[in-house]
């Protein structure tokens, strides 16, 4: 069974699931958790005026920082290139995190509060391409004893999958508001992130040179584990805000009628 997880790429056998297939479930679970919190923040942001930007920033951190970047960083822990040391550039990993959060925030500003096709399409484009760039910055931070190349057409396919999944997620979230549709929305986001990542990973090919020196950088686990803890702790802030925030649908009821003050009869 494990043979199906090993890709022959550029002269090197690349194992995508060296730690086991359970990592797929963990990555998908993190992505879905970030989406649940993120979309809850978007709902409150649509009903708020004074704190709308605060809600959108919280949504961008939840969706982009946890749902996309952290989820795929955890999935990358299972990547192994045999016969080569593997190191990661922390600068590119941080850049990927920033791009992911910024792309989600920009997409949410573009689509606005109400569903409009003219805004949904560019919003989905920004979100999908942003997640795609996040993946390539993250995967591109990998350095081995040798060289790493990219298959152009697979990279293009990854970008197309990202845009389609992002647009479909935003459309489903804005137009279908019953509970089952909400569940489908967060699942679609998680599956879309995962599909974009594994397609992007398949676009890479590795040429190992055992005589090359061990590359500079950090071990991925040493970087991702503290970010994993920080990311999950960071979610407690928007979760708490969602739980204690007032239901603005109730507050948006008919205005109170002021009764005229009666003067006492003298």
Express each pLDDT in 33-50 by its tens digit: 999 999 999 988 888 778
Q: What percent of the chain has pLDDT over 90?
A: 49
pLDDT at 101: 96
Look at residue 22 and tell me whether its pLDDT is greater than 70. Answer: yes
Determine the Cα–Cα distance for residues 29 and 10; give it in Å rounded to an integer.
32
200 alpha-carbon distance from chain centroid: 15
Average pLDDT (102-109) is 95
CB 62 within 8 A of CB 101: no
Determine the Cα–Cα distance for residues 257 and 168; give it in Å rounded to an integer.
43
CB 102 within 8 A of CB 130: yes
Determine the Cα–Cα distance for residues 239 and 227; give it in Å rounded to an integer.
18
Is 216 exposed, middle or buried, given 0-12, 13-18 or 19+ CB atoms closer than 10 A?
exposed
Q: What 8-state DSSP symbol labels residue 4?
A: G
Is 177 exposed, middle or buried, given 0-12, 13-18 or 19+ CB atoms closer than 10 A?
exposed
Look up the pTM and report it: 0.85
CB 60 within 8 A of CB 104: yes
Highest mean pLDDT among 136-145, 157-166, 172-181: 157-166
Determine the Cα–Cα distance for residues 19 and 217; give it in Å rounded to an integer.
21
Q: What 8-state DSSP symbol labels residue 213?
A: P
The b/e string for 195-211 (b: 16+ C-beta within 10 A; e otherwise) is: ebbbbbbbbbbbebeee
Determine the Cα–Cα distance for residues 82 and 206; give it in Å rounded to an integer.
10
Determine the Cα–Cα distance for residues 30 and 117; give it in Å rounded to an integer.
30
pLDDT at 84: 86
Look at residue 245 and tell me whether its pLDDT is greater than 90. Answer: no
């Amino acid at each position: 069974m494990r043979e199906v997880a090993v890709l022959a790429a550029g002269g090197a056998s690349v194992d995508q699931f060296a730690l086991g297939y359970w990592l797929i479930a963990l990555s998908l679970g993190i992505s879905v958790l970030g989406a649940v919190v993120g979309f809850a923040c978007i709902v409150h942001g649509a009903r708020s005026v004074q704190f709308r930007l605060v809600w959108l920033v919280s949504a961008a951190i939840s969706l982009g920082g946890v749902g996309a970047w952290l989820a795929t960083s955890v999935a990358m822990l299972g990547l192994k290139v045999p016969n080569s040391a593997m190191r990661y550039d922390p600068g590119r990993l941080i850049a990927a995190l920033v791009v992911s959060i910024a792309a989600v925030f920009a997409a949410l500003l573009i689509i606005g509060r109400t569903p409009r096709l003219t805004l949904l399409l560019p919003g989905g484009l920004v979100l999908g391409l942003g997640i795609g760039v996040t993946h390539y910055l993250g995967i591109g931070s990998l350095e081995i004893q040798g060289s790493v190349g990219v298959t152009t057409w697979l990279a293009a396919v990854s970008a197309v999958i990202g845009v389609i999944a992002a647009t479909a997620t935003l459309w489903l979230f804005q137009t279908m508001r019953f509970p089952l549709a909400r569940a489908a929305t967060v699942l679609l986001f998680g599956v879309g992130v995962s599909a974009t990542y594994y397609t992007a990973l398949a676009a890479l090919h590795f040429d190992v040179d055992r005589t090359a020196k061990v590359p500079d950088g950090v071990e991925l686990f040493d970087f991702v584990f503290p970010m994993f803890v920080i990311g999950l702790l960071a979610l407690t802030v928007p979760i708490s805000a969602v739980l204690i925030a007032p239901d603005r649908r109730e507050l948006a009821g008919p205005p109170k009628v002021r009764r005229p003050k009666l003067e006492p009869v003298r």
